[in-house]
Structure formats: structure tokens, C-alpha cells
Amino acid sequence: MTLKLTTSTRRQALLGLAGMASLVMTPVAQAQQVFINVLTGGQSGIYYPLGVALSQAYGKVLPAAKISVQATKASAENLNLLQQGKGEVAFALGDSVSDAWKGDVEAGFKAPLTKLRAMAGLYSNYIQIIANAESGIKTIADLKGKRISVGAPKSGTELNARAILKAAGLSYKDFAKVEYLGFGESVELMKNRQLDVTLQSVGLGAASIRDLAISINIVVVSVPADVVAKVGDPAYQAASIPADTYKGQTVAIPTVAIKNILVTHEGVPTDTVYAMTKSMFDNLDGLVAAHTAAKGIVKKDAAVGMPIPLHPGAEKYYREAGLLK
């Protein structure tokens, strides 16, 4: 028997097939959707503008991805969020990454964060101790009895502060007042004479410190090499802040440098991490335009000395670039 389909019947049949096709295709389309949340730091720091620049670079090679940039309390929070799958890319200080991998409770990690994977070594942070010249502070020993801000609680800056102050024979109990504030808030209190000193672990030429140096006369306090050695952590390397980095700072100042690391987690697809790693190095000019600290990102050193395993996607890029055997 032959069935004759009317125009109306044909239309209903086609609509039915289209509906079935959409049911089949929808999960596939959803599976292909890529979400990239870039975890940074406070908006007055360096991580945030670099995160924005990275997101723009990622958008060029992953146009279908939904990319966002999140301001955070930086290193420790970023690494915990990665472990929880609440971000795909994060900035963090090298010592914080090492502490996270080991599960150092004092550093803010209740258990080892074993899902973390490295993407790239970045520029170095410099521990910059900036005092109001009116406070009379000239050396690290002079900090005793003063009012200080040491960074947001459990941030990379605050962990650096603990390590350096301990190596210098100081503890938080030795200060008249200790504030746990981000860079921007610390600077505002310094301008209003409510703090004597701010310790900031950040790239050279930080906007927050440049802003402060324009508003008041500052002293950049040195961290001697013997104090750096007493920290006992290979992530802490003796370095110096070049002369004229900030207004009124006419000589180079000894301090300590710690490398920043771009981190992801094991759940991010290999192809996605490969594309993101490659796009960063293909768009370094954009990062430098966002902040001059990015001048310290050197491709040949990017996979060297990582405290955690490289992500397979990043490893693939470095092998193609001839940087890994």
C-alpha cells in the first residue's frame, strides 16, 4: 500500500525530524563549549591587567570560548579555586605554588592540591618595602614598632612578608599595627598617614607604588642578601630594584625576587592549554602594553624550575618550540 503525504503532513514530518536532530546535536554542541576563567588578583596590582591582556590573546585562538577575568585575593585563593575547578588559568607566586602542591596548612592549603599543573614561568615579583620618609625608617630593623600593611590575608604578598620578616628577626607582634590589605588600600592609608610602611610583592614599576611616590616622599627599604639567605627557600633569590624605578629612588636597592607562575589544572583539555600557551608567547607585545612587568617573561626560561608538573598541553608547546627534549 502506498501512502500519499499531504503538504501539511510532510511539513509536520520534517519538523519532527528537525526536532530529533536538535536533540541529538545539542549535547554535542554543549560538549564543545569551552569556558576559560582567568584568576588574577586585585585590580590595582599587576596580575589583573595581565589577565585581561591574556584573555584577549586567548580570544584570538579560541573564538568560540566564553572567557572571563576574575579579580581575586591572588595566589592562595587562585590555587584553591583551580583545585575546585572554579577557574582554568591563574597567576600565582612560585613559593605559593610549591606550598599548595605540598599542602602547607600555614600557607592556606588544607591538603595537597594535586590537580594543579604549570603552564609557564612568568616575570619575577620583587618584595618591595616602601616607607613614608617621615617615619624615619631606613633599614629593615627600623620597621619594629611601626604601622605596616602586609597584603591580603594568605595572599602571596602576605606569605612573602612572613618569610622575610622572620628571616630579619621580626614577627607581626613587633609592629604597632598590622593591616592585611591589598595594594590600593594600603597606598591610600599611607597617603593619609595612617600607615608607615607597605610591603608589596609585585613586579617592578607597580602602579600602586608609583602612585604613592608621586603623593608622598618614600624610602625603598633594602632586604640584604644575608636576610634572603636565611629564608632557606630556593624560590627566594637575591635581586635588586634598579635606580629610578620610582620617584625619589635614586640608587639600586637590594631585595628578593620570586618568580610568578601561570597555572592551570589537569581537567583543562590538552588542546586548549596548548592554544593558550602558544597564544601568550605569540602576543607578548600585548602583555607588555598592559604592564611593563611582562618584559620579564622569557620563553626559553618558561618551562624551567617548575615546582609542579607541566600540563601536557603546555609541554606539547615547549617541545614544538625546541625548549624541551
Find where cell 586567548 sits. 58
The residues of the chain scoring below 50 in pLDDT are 1-31
Q: How far is CA 86 from CA 37, 187, 191, 193, in A?
A: 8, 30, 36, 39
Phi-psi group of 87: left, alpha or beta (phi > 0 → left; psi -120 to 50 → alpha; rest → beta): beta
Q: What is the pTM of this model?
A: 0.78
Burial of 320 (0-12, 13-18, 19+ CB in 10 A): exposed
262-282, pLDDT tens digit by residue? 999 999 999 999 999 999 999
Per-residue model confidence (pLDDT) at position 19: 47
The pLDDT assigned to 22 comes to 42
What integer pLDDT is reported at residue 32 of this predicted model?
62
* Cα–Cα dist 82/80, whole Å: 5
List, for residues 113-169, the tens digit of each pLDDT value: 999 999 999 999 999 999 999 999 999 999 999 999 999 887 889 999 999 999 999
User: In order of start, what are the domains of the chain with their CATH numbers?
Assistant: 33-122+260-320 (3.40.190.10), 125-258 (3.40.190.10)
Specify the pLDDT at position 33. 75
- Confidence at residue 8, expressed as pLDDT on a 0 to 100 scale: 46
